[in-house]
Amino acid sequence: MTQTVTEHFSEQLSLRARALLHGMGAELPTPGTLLARSPISGGILLPLTIDTPTTVDAAIGRAAGAFPAWRTVPAPVRAAVVRRLAELLVAHQGALAELVTLEAGKISAEALGEVQEMIDVCEFAIGLSRQLYGATMPSERPGHRLMETWHPLGVVGVISAFNFPVAVWAWNTAIALVCGDTVVWKPSETTPLTALACHTLLRRAAVDVGVNPEVHQLVQGDATVGHALVDDPRVALLSATGSVRMGAAVAPRVAARFGRCLLELGGNNAAIVAPSADLDLAVRGIVFAAAGTAGQRCTSLRRLIVHRSIADEVVGRIAAAYTQLRVGNPLEEGVLVGPLIDERAYTAMQEALVRAGQEGGVIVCGGERVDLIGPDAYYARPALVRMPKHTELVREETFAPILYVLTYDDFDTAIALNNDVPQGLSSSVFTLDQREAERFLSADGSDCGIANVNIGTSGAEIGGAFGGEKNTGGGRESGSDSWKAYMRRATNTINYSTELPLAQGIHFG
């Protein structure tokens, strides 16, 4: 493909992005030095202006200024803006999903699924607005009642990553809003246009239901913009999604000002395949978890731990499935693997494959670049690599479609291998042996925040809390009781007697 054709294709993608933004009611951004690129072609979609320390300070100030009134609105009434947002997401699902594809490179089915996830978490948050429960406990003192109440926390800063450019924002924002918080969002500089679209839809939802749109702010730019959120004492909670390296830098700075952190960091996820496993089911789950989103999910499957007796068969089946995966333009029907986000991601993949060979690994298939659209787009075939042991490389997370295969002889060894990484996000086991399944889910089984049986490591549902342990950061978002991270708790003692007894039977005076 000639450069002229590539440039023409990039221009068509840019025009499409402009049309999608216009259709969702977003004003085209003021041109600047932040370049929104499409990994499909590597070309520029739109140039945007980077926020400055002054404009970030003003955005935080607006969110802080809106908070006092917003926190006094009853939670079920606050849910009205989230309900309207869900309606707008339904109306613009196709357009927003296409914008996700243009900016993040996801295939259409996954992009539509991500927007559906936004709709689902809005529905969850709407119901949650009537279930922000506090407990009542028996008091040891007669004529007293002991209880706890939950109150809005303040300004929530959200720093999101490119691989789920809209869903993770929705997880945080829908719940934070019904909890009575205001939000300042700093999206990945790789996906600023999807952020602009979401911000537009939320502010429209706020206006439609009579809510002050200043409850949500958007700031765009590089890491220096994120640093402003990290260090500002007006940001009560910082929810940050990204690398372990990023989390290690962010957490001490937030702690130094006694702020709160909710961290969703790296995952080096494993699946165990036991001799009793349904291999047809296992192979489907493994291929989707390892190759989906071009291996660029935090829950992507990166390590496969297979019983030695079935290892050759399992590897052969996966290799055969990999040959059927169509790599290409994610806008085209039938494509299952889109591009890596940029050159850096491709380089990291190639460096990891070289190291794998140096550490005794054998590439079964994949790993090569597919030159489809020009020199600035990076497509690669998912790689399957057999490793002789659990090396340092295997213990690292490479954000690319590489699946390392290890073997085991007994289930204790398999669990030990699963846990022998610094990260602790997601894990799974494929087995029809109930004892193995229950052991995997027990206290001495998987040490991850997500542990699945007969399903892959990716594809979490809204209803369950999402997050992981160890270097993954320990945060929980989305379902279950993750709402508690966005609120402060007060313990209340009410004396309805005419006496003043002290706790622990103390007598004074």
Q: Which are the catalytic amino acids?
A: 264
In angstroms and rounded to an integer, the radius of gyration of the C-alpha atoms of the chain is: 24
| CB 262, CB 283: distance < 8 Å | no
- 503, two tokens: 């706790």
Q: What CA–CA distance (Å, rounded) separates 307 from 14?
A: 49
**Is 294 strand, coil or helix?**
helix
User: At which residue do the structure tokens 């720093």 appear?
Assistant: 159
Q: What CA–CA distance (Å, rounded) separates 292 from 273?
A: 19
Q: Are strands 136-137 and 144-152 parallel, antiparallel or unpaired?
A: antiparallel
Selection from 357, 340, 138, 163 nearest residue 242 by Cα: 163
User: At which residue do the structure tokens 């990166």 appear?
Assistant: 302
- 296, two tokens: 């660029």
Q: What CA–CA distance (Å, rounded) separates 155 from 229?
A: 10
Distance of CA 59 to the CA centre of its chain: 24
Strand blocks (E) in 104-193: 136-137, 144-152, 155-159, 182-186
Task: List Cα–Cα distances, 143 to 39, 356, 495, 508, in angstroms.
Answer: 66, 69, 6, 19
Q: What CA–CA distance (Å, rounded) separates 303 from 268?
A: 7
CB atoms within 10 A of CB 248: 13
Amino acid found at 124: F
Dihedral over Cα of 331, 158, 296, 398: its sign: positive
User: What is 382-450 written as a DSSP string?
Assistant: -EEEE-SS--HHHHS--SSSEEEEEEESSHHHHHHHHH-SSEESEEEEE-S-HHHHHHHHSTTS--SSE
Burial environment of residue 496 by CB neighbours within 10 A (0 to 12, 13 to 18, 19 or more): exposed
**Is 219 strand, coil or helix?**
coil
Burial 276-295 (b: 16+ CB within 10 A, else e): ebeeeebbebbbbbbbbbbb
Give me the torsion for CA of 101, 107, 111, 114, rounded to 10°.
-130
